[in-house]
Structure 1
Amino acid sequence: MIESIGNTAPGWITGLMDTLGAPGAGVAIAAENLFPPLPSEVILPLAGFASARGSMHLASALAWTTLGSVSGALALYGVGALLGHERTVAIASKLPLVRVSDIEKTEHWFRRHGTKAVFFGRMIPLSRSLISIPAGIERMPIPVFLALTTLGSLVWNTIFVLAGYLLGDNWEEVTGYMDVYSKVALAATALAVAVFVVARVSRCGPGARRRG
């Protein structure tokens, strides 16, 4: 049983895989896309290890986890599409330190680089989920979105599923490396946000108003 080998995995994850096999891994990854704090760095290597133990076929693990990634991303694309440009601007205009011009610049950037952002975003913590929302807001053609998301997810999932498969009983080592990568990526994101806030506060400070 998978439950007996997933020592660091939350019980519901091992329960899904134990009950449903590869489709359970897909459901877990779909949930991870919708709720980013869930541990894909545990789900994917565990699915690989389960494949090595014969609990599921390796090809099925790859197919179902990728399907789960695409399903979760498509749901968030729908959120962005429902939100739309007008609501996004209306919400942004009420946020502190955010200007409508910031949204316009972001939209312009996404129109130019959206395909790369969706593909490579599937390999960056947090962005893996959030990148689907601007894609929906900008109404990226669904066939393009699905193709990029499938390819990016397949690359990411394959790396970690195969790592779990090849490491065998040491599959949990993957989580250590992934934890370092996640911390670096999130620190870089936090730094970018901090730079934006400092720059915006300095522009909106008393000195800036006197010059205006």
Structure 2
Amino acid sequence: MLEWITNTVDSLGYVGIGLLMLLENLFPPIPSELIMPLAGFAVIQGKLQLVYVIVAGVIGSVLGALPWYYLGKVWGLRRIKRFVDRYGKWLSVSSEDIDRARQWFQKRGRETTCFSRLVPGVRTYISVPAGISKMPLLPFLVYSTIGTALWVSFLTYAGFLLGENYDRVKQYLAPVSTIVLVVFVVAFVFWIIRRNVKQK
């Protein structure tokens, strides 16, 4: 995969960076933790300019978030609640829980959308609840862009600092991604147990 990413950046430049970041959002196994540090290394080599690298990464990433946003918007609250009413008992989730989650997202959706862009493993999928909660497109784009710009700038600058060792960024961030996912799973399990105890 690294060779493919390298060839894409070398041959297509800024367009290649944007395209890769778009695909990274659609197919998360393509890691931004390799794309942007590699682009940062290309800046050191004099092949690309830092500002344009960051702009290309942000544009590609935000465009890649839109299909997930519209998936949530098109699928909609009603279908999800119907699905939950039918199968939610296996996860101890009810349509009332969906309503509460939607109300919470409507209150704090902008901040959540922004900061979730900085969390590996979560940043891609936060667009779905944004769409489900009917978050207006303009605020979604604005807050997604802010969070994405911070993430892309961090990765690019890390690659810039590490030089030929840019691929270590992914190694350093891998444990962080694992910890974040574990925390989310534990929090979800704790929420289910707590809810069941309250019901009993």
Q: Tell me if TM exceeds 0.5.
A: yes
Residue type of the alignment partner of 1:36? P
1:3 equivalent in structure 2: none
Gaps of 5+ in 2: none
Residue type of the alignment partner of 1:189? F
Does 1:46 pair with 2:38?
yes
Distance (Å, rounded) in 2 between the aligned partners of 1:94 and 1:67 = 39
Gaps of 5+ in 1: 1-8
- Once the two structures are superposed, what CA deviation does each residue of 1:42-86 show, in whole Å capped at 9, x if it has no partner? 111111111211222212210110001100111211111111111
Deviation at 1:163, TM superposition (A): 1.0
Of 60, 68, 72, which aligns to 1:76? Answer: 68
TM-score (norm 2): 0.91
Deviation at 1:154, TM superposition (A): 0.4
Does 1:17 pair with 2:12?
no
1:30 equivalent in structure 2: 22
Distance (Å, rounded) in 2 between the aligned partners of 1:94 and 1:202 = 22
1:146 equivalent in structure 2: 141
Deviation at 1:28, TM superposition (A): 1.1
Residue type of the alignment partner of 2:29? P
Identity of aligned residues (%): 36
Aligned ranges 1:82-121 → 2 under 5 Å: 82-95=74-87, 96=90, 97-121=92-116
Deviation at 1:98, TM superposition (A): 1.4
Of 183, 192, 202, which aligns to 2:187? Answer: 192
TM-score (norm 1): 0.86
Deviation at 1:181, TM superposition (A): 1.4
Aligned residues: 197
- Once the two structures are superposed, what CA deviation does each residue of 1:78-116 show, in whole Å capped at 9, x if it has no partner? 111111111121122222221111101100110111011
2:172 equivalent in structure 1: 177
SS of the aligned residue for 2:106 comes to helix
1:130 equivalent in structure 2: 125
SS of the aligned residue for 1:129 comes to coil
Distance (Å, rounded) in 1 between the aligned partners of 2:198 and 2:5 = 47
